[in-house]
């Protein structure tokens, strides 16, 4: 693996798409400024903004490869002198680091501008500078982005939408399975065994399991992305 190739791939991205990203950044900042300005209490707007940014992050990840249409574009991309792993890493850096930083900066800037504008019109308003991101949010975002990154190389057209639909189908299946199994357990078990099961669940370190599963899923989907790129033909 050659870091120079990764650098050149990222540089290529900025030369080709930098202006588009600046426009997107300005639009996000303006949107968040408006949401922030018109919202009185923080809670609803915070969740809305975080959800919007999460959505933008996964859509960006779901479009990052975008090489299949037209075929000439695929040939052009696949013959760039960098290995498949270097191309996967370069896109990973763009999705997981660059774009998330861009979104967080846009959120903070929009929030700040909205708050300041509010304060100018209503001096009694106390602007609170806040960071509505937690480690849990960030990990969840990275996992979803890794799934959408895989989707962007797996699906040839409308990758982000198709990945979202597959995820939706998966969660629906999971909910149905979960409801059926748990429901059946509670119906057929006596109160003592239910209490015993509750104790077992209470003793489990939920955070540790969540983090472990998230990290494994993140690694798995990035590995799958690399494998899929390796076997992509044009």
Partner 1 sequence: MIQLQNINFSYHKGRTIFDDLSLSLEGGHIYGLFGKNGAGKTTLLKIIAGLRFPKSGSSTTLGQRAALRKAEMLKNLYFLQEEVYVPAISIRDYVKCYAPFYENFDNEQFEEYLHLFEITSMDDKLTALSHGQRKKVIISFALATNTKILLMDEPTNGLDIPSKGIFRKIMTMAANEDRLILISTHQVRDLHCLIDAVVILDNGHILLNASADDITDKLCFKITDDTGTDEPILYCEENLRGNLLVTENIHHIETKLDIELLFNAVMLNKERINELFNAKN
SS (H, E, C) 2-49: CHHHHHHHHHHHHHHHHHHHHHHHHHHHHHHHHHHHHCCCHHHHHHHH
- Binder among 22, 75, 172, 194 for partner 1 (CB under 8 A): 75
d(CA 77, CA 129): 43
- Binder among 41, 72, 126, 203 for partner 1 (CB under 8 A): 72
- Binder among 41, 43, 79, 202 for partner 1 (CB under 8 A): 79
Contact indicator for 163, 75 with CB cutoff of 8 Å: no
- Binder among 24, 39, 66, 84 for partner 1 (CB under 8 A): 84
- Which one of 49-57, 83-91, 162-170, 172-180 is the stretch in contact with partner 1 (CB under 8 A)? 83-91
Q: Name the minimum Å distance from CB 16 to partner 1.
A: 5
- Which one of 88-96, 129-137, 183-191, 226-234 is the stretch in contact with partner 1 (CB under 8 A)? 226-234
- Binder among 128, 135, 202, 233 for partner 1 (CB under 8 A): 233
81: contact with partner 1 by CB under 8 A: yes
**Structure tokens belonging to residue 230:** 């390796």
What is the rounded end-to-end Cα distance, in angstroms, of the chain?
23
156: contact with partner 1 by CB under 8 A: no
- Distance, C-alpha 67 to centroid of its chain: 20
231: contact with partner 1 by CB under 8 A: yes
Q: Which of 97, 96, 102, 108 is nearest to 133 (CA)?
A: 108
Contact indicator for 86, 225 with CB cutoff of 8 Å: no
86: contact with partner 1 by CB under 8 A: yes
Q: Which of 229, 211, 231 is nearest to 219 (CA)?
A: 211
- With vertex at residue 105, the alpha carbon angle to CA 101 and CA 109, rounded to the nearest 5 degrees, is 175
Q: Name the minimum Å distance from CB 228 to partner 1.
A: 13
d(CA 209, CA 207): 5
> Which of positions 5-64 make contact with partner 1 (CB under 8 A)?
5, 8, 11-12, 15-16
Compare residues 76 and 158 and give the one whose CB is closer to partner 1: 76
- Which one of 55-63, 80-88, 177-185, 189-197 is the stretch in contact with partner 1 (CB under 8 A)? 80-88
3: contact with partner 1 by CB under 8 A: no
Contact indicator for 35, 48 with CB cutoff of 8 Å: yes
The site for partner 1 (CB under 8 A) is made up of 2, 4-5, 8, 11-12, 15-16, 70, 72-73, 75-76, 78-84, 86, 230-231, 233-234
């Amino acid at each position: 693996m050659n870091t120079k190739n990764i650098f050149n791939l990222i540089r290529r991205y900025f030369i080709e798409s930098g202006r588009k990203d600046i426009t997107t950044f300005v639009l996000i900042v303006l949107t968040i400024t408006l949401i922030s300005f018109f919202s009185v209490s923080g809670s609803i707007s915070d969740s809305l903004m975080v959800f919007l940014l999460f959505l933008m992050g996964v859509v960006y990840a779901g479009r990052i490869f975008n090489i299949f249409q037209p075929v000439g574009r695929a040939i052009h991309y696949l013959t760039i002198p960098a290995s498949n792993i270097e191309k996967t890493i370069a896109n990973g850096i763009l999705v997981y680091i660059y774009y998330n930083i861009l979104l967080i900066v846009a959120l903070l800037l929009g929030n700040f501008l909205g708050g300041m504008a509010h304060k100018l019109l209503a001096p009694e308003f106390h602007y609170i500078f806040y960071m509505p991101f937690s480690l849990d949010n960030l990990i969840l975002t990275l996992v979803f982005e890794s799934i959408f990154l895989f989707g962007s190389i797996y699906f040839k057209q409308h990758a982000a939408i198709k990945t979202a639909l597959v995820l939706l189908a998966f969660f629906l299946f999971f909910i149905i399975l979960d409801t059926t199994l748990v429901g059946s357990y509670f119906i057929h078990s006596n109160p003592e065994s239910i209490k015993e099961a509750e104790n077992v669940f209470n003793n489990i370190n939920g955070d540790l399991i969540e983090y472990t599963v998230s990290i494994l899923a993140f690694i798995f989907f990035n590995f799958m992305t690399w494998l899929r790129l390796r076997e992509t033909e044009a």
